[in-house]
C-alpha cells in the first residue's frame, strides 16, 4: 500500500491533480471568506434597520398612551430582543454626536426627538461581533427618556449545511473535470514512455502516431526520427558483421574438406577441431546479430517439452542435464530465441561445471528457469560484466575451450526480448546459477 | 557381381568445393559427379543414374530452392541441401520445396557422409510408390508435425519441441501410419544400426514420445504396442503445406 501511494505521488498526473486541487480548494476558501464577510454586513444592516423600525414603533406607541398606561404598553412592546425601560434624566447616555442611527430615527420620528446612542454601540451597518448591544435613549415628547435596546444580539447565523454541501459538490465536480483534463494532458507522455519501452524490446516496433497538441506531435516526431536512426545504425552494423562472417564460410568449408586429405590422423583431428571452433564462433556471432533483430513470431510453447528435449539431446552427446520442476502452463514467447538462450546456458554449464541442473519455477506473474552448475562460478566483480558483448572472463580467455564472449549476451538479449532479464549468481554451495526470468503477459 | 556404388550429384558454383567434395565422396565409396549450376545439373541427370543430389542453396542464375522444387516436381530424387546458417527462412523453404535434409556450411564432411547414407537408407526402406510426397506439415489426431521447424503443434497452437530422437521416431511412424514397425526396423531407420539383443532404446523413445503426445502409456491410443511385433501409429495422416 505504501509503495502504491509513493508511486502515485511520484506520477506527473498525481502531482498536477494535487496542485490543481489545492489551488481550487484555496480559491474556494477565499471566496467563502469574502462571502462570509459580505453576509455579516448584510445581516448587520438588516438588524440595524429592524432596530430602527422597532424603536420608532415603540416611541409612537408610548407617546400615544397616557403616562399611567405606559407600563402595560412597555410590557407589550418587549417581544423578541427589544428591551424597553423608562430612565431618569441622570441615566441618559452622553451625547456622542451625530451617528447614522440617530439620523435614521430622527428622520422617521421628527427632529424634536432627542436620540442618544447607548454605550459603545457600534456604528450602523458595521458588522457586529460578539454580543455587542445596540441601544438608544430617546426623549419622548413629554420629556420622559426611554431606553430601548436589543439584548443578546447574536453573530450572523452559521452557514447552513446545505451551503457547505453545495460547495463540496461543486469542488468534487470541478475536481473530476480537472482529473480528466490532466489525464488527457499526460497521456501522450505515457504513450511516449510505452513506445520507448517497446522499442527497447523490439527494434521493429511501429513508429508513434503523430497526433495531439503541437508539443506532443513534435515529441513523437523526434522520437520516431531517433528510433529510425538507431535502427539504421544497428542494422548497418549487423549487416557488415554478418556479411564478413558469412563470407568466411566458403573458405572454411574448403579447409574443412582439405583437412580430410591430411594423412596424419592426429594432425587432422587437431585441424578439424580448430575449424569447428572457428565455425562455432561464426555461428554464435550470427546468432547474436540475428538475436538483435529477431522478428520471430510469438507462440505458445510447452516449456517442459522444450527442456526435456534439450536434456535428451544432451544425453545423446553423453552429457547429463537434470530437469527439476515444471511449467504449469505453456509460455508465450519466441521458440528458437528461447531455445538458443537455454542452449547457451546449458553449454556454458557443461563447459565450466560438469553436473548441470535445470530448475523451473513457475508462477502466475513469471516463469523462472535456472541453470546451475558445479563449476568455479564467476568472480563477484565480474558478475555484472560477463553478459556484456565480447566480454570474457580470464578463465574463459585462457582456456582452450575459448568462446566468443557472446554466449551470455545472446541470453540476456533473449531475456530482454521477452521483457525479462538474466540473473547471474554464485551459489553458496559453489558453482554458477544463471536464471532466465520471463514475465508472463 | 560387384554392387554398383551409389552415385551422388554435387551442385555447387565453387570449383574448389566441387573438386574436394567429389574426391572426398569418391574416397568413401560413392561415385560423384559435379555440376556448376542448374543447367549442368539437368544435363547430368539426363546422362547418369543419380541416387542423390547435394544441392547448394546459393547458385548463379537459378537458385537452389527453385531447382529443388523443379526436381521434386519431376521425380522422387532425394535432395540434401547445403545452406548457410542464419538463413532460417531458407532452411524452412528448403524443406517446403521438398529437400530431405539440410546441412549448414561449413559442415563436417563425415556428417555429410552420415546424412547421405541416412537419406538413402530411409528412402530405400520404403517401396518407391509409397515415397511420401513432400509436405511441410504432417497432421494426425489433433497434432501437426512441422518438419521444417521440427516441432509438434497441438490443436490449441501450443508448440511442443521434440528432441532429435523423438522427431526421427515420430517422422518414421507418420510416414508409415497404420503399419506395424518392429524394433529392428525402427532401430535401423533411426540409428542406422541393427538392434542389439535386449535393446530397449526404442522402447524408451516410444514412451517419451507417448508422453509428448499425451498418450496414456498403459492404454495408448496413438502409438499402440503390438505384442511380440513392434509399434503402430493408429491414426490417419494428412499432409499440408502449412501448419497454421
Predicted ipTM?
0.74
**Looking at CA atoms only, how far is residue A217 from chain B in angstroms?**
38
Q: What pLDDT score does B128 carry?
A: 47
Q: Structural domain tally of chain B?
A: 2
Q: Are residues B125 and B144 in the same domain?
A: no
Say yes or no: B155 and B232 in one domain. yes
Among A239, A255, A256, A298, most B C-beta atoms within 10 A, so best to mutate, is A256
pLDDT for A332:
93
- A154/A47 Cα distance (integer angstroms): 10
pLDDT digits (tens, 9 = 90+) for A312-358: 888 888 888 999 999 999 999 988 889 989 998 998 888 887 789 99
Q: Virtual CA dihedral for A27, A28, A32, A38, nearest 10 degrees?
A: 50
Range A114-128 average pLDDT: 59
Interface test with B, best of A272, A302, A311, A410 (most B CBs within 10 A): A302
Domain shared by B25 and B88, yes or no: yes
Q: Are B215 and B230 contained in the same domain? A: yes
In a domain? residue B85 = yes
Cell numbers found for residue B242: 502449412
Residues of B in contact with A290 (CB under 8 A): 86
From CA A208, how far away is CA A189, in angstroms rounded?
12
pLDDT of B80 reads 92
Provide the shortest C-alpha distance from residue A220 to chain B (in Å).
34
pLDDT by 10s per residue, chain B, length 244: 456 789 999 999 889 999 999 999 999 999 999 999 999 999 999 999 999 999 998 888 888 888 888 888 888 888 998 877 555 666 666 677 778 888 888 888 988 998 898 888 877 776 544 455 567 788 999 899 988 788 899 988 899 999 888 888 898 898 888 889 888 888 877 766 665 656 677 888 899 899 989 888 888 889 999 888 889 999 998 888 777 6
Domain-located, residue B48: yes
Q: What are A182-207's pLDDT values in tens digits?
A: 888 788 888 888 888 888 767 777 88
The values of phi and psi at residue A17, to 5°, are: -65, -40
CATH number, residue B53: 3.40.50.2300
Residues B162, B121, single domain; the answer is no
Does B161 sit within 8 Å of A306, measured CB to CB?
yes
- Report how many Cβ contacts below 8 Å link chain A to chain B: 92
Q: Which of A364, A309, A314 is nearest to A338 (CA)?
A: A309
Do both B117 and B154 map to the same domain?
no
Judgement on whether residues B99 and B141 belong to the same structural domain of the protein: no
d(CA A132, CA B32): 126
The stretch A413-435 carries a mean pLDDT of 90
Q: Which residues contact A393 (CB under 8 A, 6 or more apart)?
A: A378, A379, A382, A386
Residues contacting residue B63 through CB under 8 Å, at least 6 positions apart:
B57
Within 13 Å and on the Cβ side, how many CA atoms surround A148?
Answer: 30
Per the DSSP assignment, residues forming a β-bridge with A87 are A145
Q: Residue B1 falls within a domain, yes or no? A: no
Buried b (16+ CB within 10 A) or exposed e, A252-289: bbbbbbbbbeeeeeeeeeebbeebeebbebbbbbbbbb
Q: How many residues does chain A have?
A: 441
The domain containing residue B61 runs over which residues? 7-130
- Model confidence at A377: pLDDT above 90: no
pLDDT at A143 over 90: no
Q: What is the DSSP letter of B223?
A: E
**Threshold 0.80, pTM exceeds:** no
B11 and B118, same domain (yes or no) = yes
Output the domain CATH number for residue B191: 1.10.10.10
Residue where a domain stops, chosen among B66, B98, B130:
B130
Identify the burial level of A180 via C-beta atoms within 10 angstroms of its C-beta, where 0-12 means exposed, 13-18 middle and 19 or more buried: exposed
A36 compared with A311, residue with greater pLDDT? A311
Cα B24 from Cα B109, distance rounded (Å): 8
Average the pLDDT over A298-316 and give the result: 91
- Residue that terminates a domain, selected from B109, B130, B151: B130
For residue B7, what pLDDT is reported? 94
Min distance A250 CA to chain B CA atoms (Å):
7
Across the interface, of A249, A272, A302, the residue whose CB is closest to B105 is A249
A128/A143 Cα distance (integer angstroms): 31
A313 and B156: CB-CB below 8 Å?
Answer: no
- Residue numbers in B near A339 (CB within 8 A): 161
First to last CA, chain B: 51
With a cut of 60, say whether residue A132 has pLDDT above it: no
Per-residue pLDDT at A148 exceeds 90: no
Q: Rounded to whole angstroms, how far apart are CA atoms B148 and A141?
A: 124
Domain boundary among B130, B145, B171: B130
- Report the residue of chain A nearest B85, measured CA to CA: A283
Q: Which of B20, B107, B159 is facing A300, going by the closest CB pair?
A: B159
What value does the mean pLDDT take over residues A213-236?
87
Chain B residues in contact with A286 (beta carbon < 8 A): 85-86
Cell of A373: 552448475
Whether residue B2 lies inside any domain: the answer is no
pLDDT at B3: 67
Q: How far is A197 from chain B (nearest CA, A)?
A: 27
Residue A5 pLDDT: 59
Tell me, yes or no, whether B77 and B54 share the same domain: yes
User: Of all helices (H) and strands (E), which one includes residue B224?
Assistant: strand B223-226
| Secondary structure of chain A as H, E, C letters | CHHHHHHHHHCHHHHHHHHHHHHHHHHHHHHHHHHHHHHHHHHHHHHHHHHHHHHHHHHHHHHHCCHHHHHHHHHHHCCCCEEEEEECHHHCCCCCCCCHHHHHHHHHHCCCCCEEECCCCCCCCCCCCCCCCEEEEEECCCCCEEEEEECCCCCCCCCCHHHHHHHHHHHHHHHHHHHHHHHHHHHHHHHHHHHHHHHHHCCCCCCCCCCCCHHHHHHHHHHHHHHHHHHHHHHHHHHHHHHHHHHCHHHHHHHHHHHCCCCCHHHHHHHHHHHHHHHHHHHHHHHHHHHHCCCCCCEEECHHHHHHHHHHHHHHCCCCEEEECCCCCCEEECHHHHHHHHHHHHHHHHHHCCCEEEEEEECCCEEEEEEECCCCCCCHHHHCCCCCCCCCCHHHHHCCCCCCCCHHHHHHHHHHHCCCEEEEEECCCCCEEEEEEEECC
Peptide linkage before A44 cis (omega within 30 of 0):
no
> Are A330 and B14 an interchain contact pair (Cβ–Cβ within 8 Å)?
no
Task: Annotate B99-142 with DSSP letters as a single string.
Answer: -SEEEEES--HHHHHHHHHHHHHHHHHS-GGG-PPP-SEEEETT
> Does some domain include residue B194?
yes
Closest residue in chain A to residue B159, using alpha carbons only: A301
Residues of A in contact with B26 (CB under 8 A): none
Mean pLDDT of chain A: 81
What pLDDT score does A345 carry? 92
**B68 and B143 housed in the same domain:** no
Q: How far is B107 from chain A (nearest CA, A)?
A: 7
A302/B85 touch (CB, cutoff 8 Å), yes or no: no
Helix H or strand E encompassing B53: strand B52-56
Q: Are residues B18 and B117 in the same domain?
A: yes
Considering only CB atoms, A257 lies closest to which of B20, B156, B161, namely B20
| B123 and B225 co-located in one domain | no
Q: What's residue A385's pLDDT?
A: 83
Amino acid at each position: 500500500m505504501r509503495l502504491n501511494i509513493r508511486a502515485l505521488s511520484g506520477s506527473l498526473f498525481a502531482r498536477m491533480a494535487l496542485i490543481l486541487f489545492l489551488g481550487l480548494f484555496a480559491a474556494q476558501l477565499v471566496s467563502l471568506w469574502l462571502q462570509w464577510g459580505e453576509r455579516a454586513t448584510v445581516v448587520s444592516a438588516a438588524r440595524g434597520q429592524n432596530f430602527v423600525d422597532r424603536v420608532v414603533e415603540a416611541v409612537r406607541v408610548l407617546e400615544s398612551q397616557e403616562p399611567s398606561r405606559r407600563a402595560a404598553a412597555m410590557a407589550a412592546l418587549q417581544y423578541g430582543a427589544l428591551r424597553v425601560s423608562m430612565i431618569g434624566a441622570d441615566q441618559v447616555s452622553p451625547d456622542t454626536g451625530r451617528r447614522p442611527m440617530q439620523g435614521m430615527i430622527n428622520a422617521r420620528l421628527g427632529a424634536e426627538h432627542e436620540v442618544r446612542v447607548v454605550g459603545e454601540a457600534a456604528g450602523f451597518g458595521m458588522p457586529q461581533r460578539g454580543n455587542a448591544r445596540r441601544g438608544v435613549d430617546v426623549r419622548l415628547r413629554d420629556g420622559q427618556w426611554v431606553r430601548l435596546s436589543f439584548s443578546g444580539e447574536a453573530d450572523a447565523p452559521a452557514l447552513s449545511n446545505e451551503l457547505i454541501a453545495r460547495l463540496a459538490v461543486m469542488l468534487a465536480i470541478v475536481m473530476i473535470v480537472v482529473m480528466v483534463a490532466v489525464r488527457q494532458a499526460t497521456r501522450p507522455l505515457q504513450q511516449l514512455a510505452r513506445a520507448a519501452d517497446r522499442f527497447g524490446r523490439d527494434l521493429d516496433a511501429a513508429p508513434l502516431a503523430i497526433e495531439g497538441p503541437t508539443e506532443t506531435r513534435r515529441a513523437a516526431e523526434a522520437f520516431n526520427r531517433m528510433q529510425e536512426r538507431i535502427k539504421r545504425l544497428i542494422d548497418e552494423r549487423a549487416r557488415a558483421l554478418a556479411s564478413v562472417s558469412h563470407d568466411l564460410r566458403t573458405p572454411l568449408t574448403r579447409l574443412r574438406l582439405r583437412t580430410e586429405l591430411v594423412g596424419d590422423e592426429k594432425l587432422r583431428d587437431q585441424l578439424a577441431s580448430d575449424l569447428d571452433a572457428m565455425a562455432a564462433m561464426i555461428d554464435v556471432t550470427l546468432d547474436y546479430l540475428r538475436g538483435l533483430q529477431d522478428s520471430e513470431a510469438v507462440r505458445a510453447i510447452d516449456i517442459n517439452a522444450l527442456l526435456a528435449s534439450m536434456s535428451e539431446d544432451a544425453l545423446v552427446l553423453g552429457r547429463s542435464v537434470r530437469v527439476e520442476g515444471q511449467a504449469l502452463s505453456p509460455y508465450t514467447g519466441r521458440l528458437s530465441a528461447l531455445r538458443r538462450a537455454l542452449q547457451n546456458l546449458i553449454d556454458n554449464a557443461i563447459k565450466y561445471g560438469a553436473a548441470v541442473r535445470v530448475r523451473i519455477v513457475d508462477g502466475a506473474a513469471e516463469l523462472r528457469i535456472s541453470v546451475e552448475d558445479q563449476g568455479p562460478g564467476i568472480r563477484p566483480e565480474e558478475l555484472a560484466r560477463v553478459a556484456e558483448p565480447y566480454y570474457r572472463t580470464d578463465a574463459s580467455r585462457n582456456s582452450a575451450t575459448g568462446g566468443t564472449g557472446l554466449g551470455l549476451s545472446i541470453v540476456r538479449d533473449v531475456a530482454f526480448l521477452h521483457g525479462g532479464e538474466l540473473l547471474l549468481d554464485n551459489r553458496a554451495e559453489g558453482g554458477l546459477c544463471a536464471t532466465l526470468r520471463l514475465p508472463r503477459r | 557381381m560387384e554392387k554398383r556404388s551409389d552415385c551422388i550429384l554435387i551442385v555447387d558454383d565453387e570449383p574448389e568445393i566441387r573438386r574436394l567434395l567429389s574426391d572426398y565422396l569418391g574416397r568413401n565409396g560413392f561415385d560423384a559427379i559435379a555440376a556448376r549450376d542448374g543447367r549442368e545439373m539437368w544435363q547430368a541427370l539426363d546422362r547418369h543414374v543419380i541416387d542423390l543430389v547435394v544441392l547448394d542453396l546459393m547458385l548463379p542464375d537459378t537458385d537452389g530452392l527453385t531447382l529443388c522444387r523443379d526436381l521434386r516436381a519431376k521425380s522422387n530424387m532425394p535432395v540434401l541441401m547445403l545452406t548457410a546458417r542464419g538463413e532460417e527462412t531458407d532452411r524452412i523453404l528448403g524443406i517446403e520445396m521438398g529437400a530431405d535434409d539440410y546441412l549448414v556450411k561449413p559442415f563436417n564432411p563425415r556428417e555429410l557422409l552420415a546424412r547421405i547414407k541416412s537419406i538413402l537408407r530411409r528412402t530405400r526402406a520404403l517401396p518407391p510408390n509409397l515415397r511420401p510426397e513432400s509436405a511441410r506439415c504432417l497432421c494426425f489426431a489433433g497434432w501437426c508435425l512441422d518438419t521444417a521447424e521440427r516441432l509438434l503443434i497441438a490443436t490449441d497452437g501450443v508448440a511442443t519441441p521434440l528432441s532429435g530422437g523423438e522427431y526421427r521416431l515420430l517422422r518414421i511412424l507418420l510416414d508409415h501410419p497404420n503399419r506395424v514397425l518392429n524394433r529392428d526396423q525402427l532401430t535401423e531407420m533411426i540409428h542406422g544400426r541393427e538392434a542389439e539383443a535386449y535393446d530397449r532404446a526404442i522402447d524408451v523413445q516410444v514412451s517419451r514420445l507417448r508422453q509428448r503426445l499425451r498418450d496414456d502409456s498403459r492404454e495408448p491410443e496413438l502409438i499402440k504396442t503390438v505384442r511380440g511385433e513392434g509399434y503402430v501409429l493408429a491414426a490417419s495422416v494428412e499432409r499440408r503445406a502449412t501448419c497454421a
